[in-house]
Chain A
């Protein structure tokens, strides 16, 4: 299916019939350099990380429009330098879109869905891979999906999506084995009393069935607010807790001053997240599996099983993209110079339960209208035993260059 779609796309690009718009082409270079650490999640370097892990990427993106049809393809070739020296290709997006006037649009292929009004967290979203929990500003890969947008009137719209994705975080030097999900979802959205209101239903294999609500409204002036919530039965984090109902909620505000300055704050509540007791149990599990993996009295298969269990538990904070705890705060600030050439940015995710902090200051430079450079640093701060400090990463430097045609 994927190969067929890509083949059709490439043929369409090569054919380029009369009436086609100018193709938009993007060349990119990314270098994600991490300094790793031996923490409780990486005792004696059981994850097998080198002191520094480097993800070096060369990317290509193409967008071509023919009247009501569009093809988008973006991907990169990644060379990992560190514990695993290997090269692999990854598609971020590859889809075909066709619009039947203003009322119906179909899109098929690997695509970003951007499901929900939340900035850092989207409680209604089970369709896409999670955002990178340590830097929500990185470009996300899409999901393989078929999407239909129906707009019967200007105040109402319906989006239907069938998607397949793997809920694992990208852009990290760790192997995170996320679940494969095959999800169907519907979003009915309305504009009522100058408020965006959306009702969401989703369910399928590999993910809980959920009911969600999404609200967005301008407060006047330069501020807008949003609230996105979902409820479902059965936990997605271990342990399963099959009969309990859980809630997730993201509530935030955005202050935007033209395009020169923005400030956003978002609070995230995950009712199935671990409280202090559950977090202590999680740490004990790490300790126990580690001890078993090292115990010479155990037969090798038992030690290997313990090691595998340790690795799965160690990857848990990164495999869902949501973190393990119940309460988080995300803040983001950007400011551009008056000629838009320089942009300063700072992002932070704070674990309110333990005071851990993932801080990402960044600097962007656009010397020309077709060239952008972005440099982000990643620093993990907070108490030694806090969730972010448990990560087997001490710091990171993320460099991105884009040349656009």
Chain B
């Protein structure tokens, strides 16, 4: 009987793709400007704290400029499709860099920062419901559509209360090893709506290593020209 009820509830739930699409926009909108503080924690080391101003348009275009501390000010990353560039203010130079690497010396990859969308790269399957971090959640399994993405498989927990706020994501390699996990919390009002404001990525390769992104300001539906996401704009500076 209880199995039958569970099956009925699952049948009534939104399909997996719809859940992931809603969850993709839970933190940042389609076109967004934001200010974020990144704290990189390493056991036995002083925290590294960097503040950044970010611009995002769709899932393909992103630009992040470091604003503090002063020694890192002006450094900027640009992502446009499969292309990533880095601006080095000390050399006044834009250099093209590989796309698959960690961002800012922390535990997020460039893809985690700039893409923030899973539906484009993964095929989702709804596994059921499960409580996670004290919240009732949909549990989904996402499989990579191709080998160009950073992770082969993602387990994803999204709140069932209609907010579709993601609560946790676990990232696995092709060999099935859990590589990293992301916790999303501290729901608060930013940019006129409620959303998770803190994203914390932990690394299975190093106990105690953690990188936290704390959003300080967000403006959804900002008007951003495509020409902002070009190497010329990087050279021009903010």
A contacts, CB < 8 Å to B: 24, 65, 70, 97, 99, 101-103, 105, 112-114, 117, 119, 139, 149, 151, 153-154, 157, 159, 189, 191, 194, 196, 216-224, 226, 254-260, 336-341, 366, 368-372, 402, 404-405
Contact with A along B83-96 (1 / 0, CB 8 A): 11010001111111
The interface residues of chain B lying within 8 Å CB-to-CB of A341 are 46
- Are the C-beta atoms of B237 and A258 separated by less than 8 Å? no
Nearest B-chain residue to A219, judged by Cβ: B98
Whether A258 lies near B98 (C-beta < 8 A) is no
Which residues on the B side are within 8 Å of A112 (C-beta)? 92
Which residues 204-238 of B sit at the A interface, judged by CB distance below 8 A? 225-233, 235-238
Tell whether, in the assembled complex, residue A260 and residue B80 are in contact, meaning their CB atoms are under 8 Å apart: no
How far does the alpha carbon of A217 sit from the alpha carbon of B45 in the complex, in Å? 35
> Do B101 and A154 have beta carbons less than 8 Å apart?
no
Residue pairs across A and B with Cβ atoms less than 8 A apart, 16 shown, are A24-B73, A99-B236, A103-B227, A113-B92, A114-B92, A139-B90, A191-B230, A194-B81, A222-B97, A222-B100, A223-B98, A256-B98, A258-B104, A259-B104, A340-B48, A405-B70
Inside 8 A of A65's CB, which chain B residues have their CB?
Answer: 238
From 94 to 112 in chain B, residues with beta carbon under 8 angstroms from any chain A beta carbon are 94-106
Contacts of A149 in B (CB 8 A): 232, 235-236
How many interface contacts (CB-CB < 8 Å) are there between A and B? Answer: 132
Residues from chain A with Cβ under 8 Å of B237 in the complex: 70
Closest residue of chain B to A218 (Cβ to Cβ) is B98
Known A218-B97, A224-B98; contact A151-B227, beta-carbon cutoff 8 A: yes
B interface residue count range (under 10 / 10 to 19 / 20 to 34 / 35 or more)? 35 or more
Contacts of B45 in A (CB 8 A): 337-339
Q: A154-B229, A157-B231, A258-B106 are in contact. Are A220 and B100 (CB under 8 A)?
A: yes
- Alpha-carbon distance between A255 and B95 when the two chains are bound, in angstroms: 11
A151-B233 CB under 8 A given contacts A102-B228, A191-B83, A224-B97: yes
Set of chain A residues within 8 Å of B104, measured between Cβ atoms? 258-259
Given A139-B90, A218-B99, A224-B96, are A102 and B233 also a contact pair (CB < 8 Å)?
yes
A257: contacting residue among B48, B69, B86, B102, CB under 8 A: B102
Taking A139-B90, A151-B233, A258-B101 as contacts, is the C-beta distance between A224 and B227 under 8 angstroms?
A: no
State whether the Cβ of B42 lies closer than 8 Å to any Cβ in chain A: yes
The answer to whether the Cβ of B148 comes within 8 Å of any Cβ in the partner chain is yes
Q: With A149-B232, A154-B230, A339-B48 in contact, is A254–B72 under 8 Å at CB?
A: no
A369 and B68 contacting across the interface, CB-CB below 8 Å: yes
Query: Residue on A with the closest CB to B82?
Result: A194
Q: Nearest CB to that of B72 among chain A residues?
A: A369
Chain B residue nearest to A142 in the complex (CB): B92
A221 touches B70 (CB 8 A): no
